[in-house]
Structure 1
Amino acid sequence: MTFPNGFLWGAATSHFQIEGYSAEMQAQLSDWSSWMSMPAKIVDGSTAEFACDFVNRYPDDIDLLEALKLNAFRISINWPAILKDEPGGESTSQELDPEAVAYYRKLLTDLQARGIKTFVTLFHFCLPTWIAARGGWTSPVAAEQFGIFTQKIVEALGDKVDFWLTINEPMAYAYQSYVSGQWTPGHVSDYLSAFKTIKNMLVGHVHAYNAIKASYPQAQVSYTNHWRPFSPEKPLSPLDHMVCMVRDNVFNHLFPASIQSGVYSLPPPLSFFKEIRELEGPIPGLKDSIDYLGINYYTREISRFKPSWPPDLFGEASPKPLLKTNALGWETYPEGLYQILTHDVKPYLKSSSGKTREIYITENGYAECFESQLVEGDWSLEDVERVEYMTQHLEAIHEAIRAGSPVRGYLHWSLLDNFEWAEGLQQRFGLVRVSYPDQKRQPRKSAYVYADIAAENALTKKSTSQ
């Protein structure tokens, strides 16, 4: 199964999950650095204070990346650490922190010097505390300041970026922050705030897109959409099917459909609520403000009808998965990725000018669970289930390409074990094992299998039989 010439093989990360940036952690510059220090917010009680210490160890990690024959790497910029000052505060200049700029320039320069394409995310779940205090993304302030931040990043780092991603998983962020309450600020069933957040993220995306294009008109700019197919718990239940349709329209399609049309339009039943309906309307500059599709995919969700108040879109996730699951309870369902690539994204593949947008898989990976504090020998490097998951999803991608899907790259989540938000350090997604607290790196079996695939630009009998 050979992939197209020039196909990108890479890995994805985010700053908060790997960096261990001491200036941010010690001063609690972000909403997440504050949140993780509160009691009972993180499942295993761990923190990202040191994470993978990537900010100090990245030269060795780039060596690992190169040794694995990977030619693409996704990072994110630490907004709270690189732009610390609140406008109107003691320091009103809002200048970028020179130490942080130097770190990111060196990192990106080193990657490009080795022929590794750079994907740079501007917002990956962490806000400066002063923006969070003003309501975070529920306030237009966040969108405005995101545009200012982006402009400064473009000036400082723009020549080192191959692919831009403005915002990571907007729908997942809004849901976890304002509906489930598992992420900061911890609101539960606050749907008005959730959909204010989405609207302001769309506006912020436009500001960022325009800032990038003003300096680099040919830049490749997108965002990452978390795609999750919804399947009915009872295939013959009309109510279960209705719940799946509603959830699909909101979770999967709301953000890309708004960008495609230029209008923030909420589907029923959300549009039945006056306060939410009043958020609807055209957003200047939104239409066609992406150049490619960034797709994050992990699993599907089995859903069922459940009348409740406040409603969670009139349903809930079934506690009974039908297939093999990972440590987070997520099913291995490569058929869902094929469905997305060949069917679900079709409305968004062409711009209004008729140009076809290419697709990059910006996240896809498998979680294993181990204690956050581990010593040598406590756990295996033979991650056979991750290998199976990865190769099955790459087979689905290859089939989609043969069916005409313009997929041009795959970024595995993740290069390193890292801090998995509310789950802490115990959920392990890495191709490379990270032992805490000594930070020792050791490639797993999956890393070597992935290296063979990348080197051959193909799934071979060897890679699919391991």
Structure 2
Amino acid sequence: MSVTRADFPAGFLFSTATSAYQIEGHGFGGAGRTHWDTFARRPGAVLNGDDGAVACDHYHRWPEDLDLVRDGGFDAYRFSTSWARIMPDGRSLNPEGLAFYDRLVDGMLDRGIKPMATLYHWELPQALSDKGGWTARDTVLRFADFTEVVARKLGDRLHSVAPVNEPWCVAWLSHYHGHHAPGLSTLRDGVRAMHHVALAHGMAAAVLRDERVPNVGAATNFEAALPATDREIDIAAAERFDGIYNRWFLGAMFRGAYPDDVLEGFGDHMPDRWQDDMATIHQPLDWFGINYYTCNRVIDTGGEWPALGSVVGPLPKTDMGWEIYPQGLTDLLGWIARDYTQETPLFVTENGMAHADVPGAEDAARIDFLDQHLQACLKAIETGVPLTGYTAWSLLDNFEWALGYEKRFGLIHVDYDTQARTPKASYHAMARALTDG
């Protein structure tokens, strides 16, 4: 790699990340059924009908996995807690589930790894999904209760906490596009979820403050919104996409207001008295996380609002078919800092690529991807962006949601038959970069 730790400011944190349902093995430890377990049984919803019942068996193999984090030279490990493991029905405590995360956090500290927790990374207890899930306000209240339980058990040992990972995916991708659990696909469901997930973030942040948990932030996904052509309708479509994908949660968290252009389209689908929730959503944050993978070349489809489509661009692609566009990360970091977050420290909370690979393979594409995006971070820092850390997604190959186990994002190859872990060349390249300087 062309960059090393020495190129970054003193104290810059390097981390790697996973999420609970994707690696733990949800069939272990008394975990309750999630809406992903249900979604995976829907014909055609998940590739090969895969689910997270075993995944990477991190539930039993976590000491080995934490050793890999340490030996890779990473300062921190971004992990998530499973609501359905800790509260199988979304309400009642499973002591065994909470004890697992107690051991996990202590294991990080024993190895000198800073624990970066995300409370919710997409696996909703099925019992709450049955009652409306994120389209219902009651789920928000139950999430606040869950947050309190985690804060009281783990909060004194965590380096940082984000309530919800990628709220756009939790809400819009899953309730309007229907690509993820619970697989809903109406504008009304999507709009209700967009507001309730934002409110869940705000309520959880307030609970964390009340419980004196330090370093509370957010982890929100962004894509560089590019009009596919110079036609006015496509330029306007890219602005609509930017509003829904990039500006909705950012505006609520830092301005206490949703973007007017998106509200116009959401119209009567917003929950009653939603305006009363904006002060709760607009919580002070100690840091703000950016998950970045690609750009989107947007077109106007001519259909019903929001009438958004996309076309494939000319740049090299990952195994997901996503364009590799490091400049988008530099541009987004600068825009977010300038127009929204000001002096709030920023953190790249996810960045990585899916690549078809096998143990011992060259893995040059992933090394180049990581190197280019670390360079993009340095460019942002040089312009004054207060960027304080970078997270490589992901530590392990894992359950990639609707794409099952086919797509591999890991720095470490997982043989799903034997659960053998084999570090890839990209893992070793990162380790060398992080131990230099």
TM-score range, shorter chain: over 0.9
State the partner residue of 1:118: 115
Do the aligned partners of residues 212 and 344 (structure 1) sit closer, same or farther apart at CA in structure 2, a change above 3 Å counting?
closer
User: How many Å separate the matches in 1 of 2:204 and 2:266?
Assistant: 30
State the partner residue of 1:456: 436
State the partner residue of 2:23: 18
Do the aligned partners of residues 329 and 396 (structure 1) sit closer, same or farther apart at CA in structure 2, a change above 3 Å counting?
same
State the partner residue of 2:224: 229
Offset at residue 380 of structure 1 (A): 4.9
User: How many Å separate the matches in 2 of 1:307 and 1:269?
Assistant: 17
User: How many Å separate the matches in 1 of 2:316 and 2:121?
Assistant: 29
State the partner residue of 1:353: none
Do the aligned partners of residues 273 and 359 (structure 1) sit closer, same or farther apart at CA in structure 2, a change above 3 Å counting?
closer
Asked if residue 286 in structure 1 is aligned to residue 281 in structure 2, the reply is yes
User: How many Å separate the matches in 1 of 2:364 and 2:209?
Assistant: 43
Structure 1 stretches of 4+ moved >6 Å: none
**Alignment deviations for residues 365-390 of structure 1 (CA, whole Å, 9 cap, x no partner):** 010246xxxxxxx6653211101100
User: How many Å separate the matches in 1 of 2:77 and 2:249?
Assistant: 25
User: How many Å separate the matches in 2 of 1:330 and 1:308?
Assistant: 24
State the partner residue of 2:426: 446
Do the aligned partners of residues 121 and 28 (structure 1) sit closer, same or farther apart at CA in structure 2, a change above 3 Å counting?
same
State the partner residue of 2:320: 328
Offset at residue 262 of structure 1 (A): 2.1
Asked if residue 201 in structure 1 is aligned to residue 194 in structure 2, the reply is no
Asked if 2 retains the 8 angstrom alpha-carbon contact of 1:297 and 1:364, the reply is: yes
Aligned pairs (5 A) from 1:19-418? 19-23=24-28, 29-85=33-89, 94=92, 96-188=93-185, 190-216=186-212, 219-234=214-229, 236-263=230-257, 265-268=258-261, 270-272=263-265, 274-276=267-269, 280-283=274-277, 284-309=279-304, 311=305, 313-318=306-311, 320-350=312-342, 356-369=343-356, 380-418=360-398
Offset at residue 274 of structure 1 (A): 3.7
Asked if 2 retains the 8 angstrom alpha-carbon contact of 1:31 and 1:126, the reply is: yes
Asked if 1 retains the 8 angstrom alpha-carbon contact of 2:224 and 2:328, the reply is: yes
Asked if 1 retains the 8 angstrom alpha-carbon contact of 2:255 and 2:340, the reply is: no
Offset at residue 394 of structure 1 (A): 0.2
Offset at residue 138 of structure 1 (A): 0.7
User: How many Å separate the matches in 1 of 2:60 and 2:360?
Assistant: 26
Q: State the AA in 2 paired with 1:164.
A: V
User: How many Å separate the matches in 2 of 1:42 and 1:393?
Assistant: 30
Asked if 2 retains the 8 angstrom alpha-carbon contact of 1:271 and 1:277, the reply is: no
Offset at residue 414 of structure 1 (A): 0.2
User: How many Å separate the matches in 2 of 1:86 and 1:438?
Assistant: 32
Do the aligned partners of residues 147 and 427 (structure 1) sit closer, same or farther apart at CA in structure 2, a change above 3 Å counting?
same
Offset at residue 272 of structure 1 (A): 4.5
Asked if 2 retains the 8 angstrom alpha-carbon contact of 1:266 and 1:277, the reply is: no
Asked if 1 retains the 8 angstrom alpha-carbon contact of 2:170 and 2:197, the reply is: no
Structure 2 gaps, min length 5: none
Do the aligned partners of residues 151 and 308 (structure 1) sit closer, same or farther apart at CA in structure 2, a change above 3 Å counting?
same
SS of residue in 2 equivalent to 1:290: coil
User: How many Å separate the matches in 2 of 1:10 and 1:362?
Assistant: 8
Asked if 1 retains the 8 angstrom alpha-carbon contact of 2:359 and 2:413, the reply is: no
**Alignment deviations for residues 131-188 of structure 1 (CA, whole Å, 9 cap, x no partner):** 1011101101111000001001111111121100100111122222122211122122
Q: State the AA in 2 paired with 1:213.
A: R
SS of residue in 2 equivalent to 1:107: helix
State the partner residue of 1:373: none
User: How many Å separate the matches in 1 of 2:261 and 2:386?
Assistant: 32
Offset at residue 202 of structure 1 (A): 2.0
TM-score by length of 1: 0.88
Offset at residue 269 of structure 1 (A): 5.4
User: How many Å separate the matches in 2 of 1:56 and 1:21?
Assistant: 11
Larger helix share, 1 or 2: 2
Asked if 2 retains the 8 angstrom alpha-carbon contact of 1:169 and 1:225, the reply is: yes
User: How many Å separate the matches in 2 of 1:406 and 1:386?
Assistant: 26
Do the aligned partners of residues 273 and 114 (structure 1) sit closer, same or farther apart at CA in structure 2, a change above 3 Å counting?
closer
User: How many Å separate the matches in 1 of 2:275 and 2:395?
Assistant: 40
TM-score by length of 2: 0.94
Asked if 1 retains the 8 angstrom alpha-carbon contact of 2:26 and 2:53, the reply is: yes
SS of residue in 2 equivalent to 1:416: coil
Offset at residue 115 of structure 1 (A): 1.7
Offset at residue 392 of structure 1 (A): 0.2
Structure 1 gaps, min length 5: 88-93, 351-355, 371-377, 458-466
Percent of aligned pairs with the same amino acid: 30
User: How many Å separate the matches in 2 of 1:150 and 1:369?
Assistant: 37
User: How many Å separate the matches in 2 of 1:192 and 1:54?
Assistant: 37
**Alignment deviations for residues 260-297 of structure 1 (CA, whole Å, 9 cap, x no partner):** 2223x343254155413566524233324322111100
Q: State the AA in 2 paired with 1:181.
A: G
User: How many Å separate the matches in 1 of 2:31 and 2:348?
Assistant: 35
User: How many Å separate the matches in 2 of 1:273 and 1:75?
Assistant: 33
User: How many Å separate the matches in 1 of 2:176 and 2:280?
Assistant: 29
Stretch deviating more after TM superposition (28-37 or 357-366): 28-37
Do the aligned partners of residues 65 and 273 (structure 1) sit closer, same or farther apart at CA in structure 2, a change above 3 Å counting?
closer
Q: State the AA in 1 paired with 2:241.
A: R
Please, what is the CA RMSD of the aligned residues?
1.8
Offset at residue 47 of structure 1 (A): 2.3
User: How many Å separate the matches in 1 of 2:222 and 2:381?
Assistant: 18
User: How many Å separate the matches in 2 of 1:446 and 1:274?
Assistant: 47
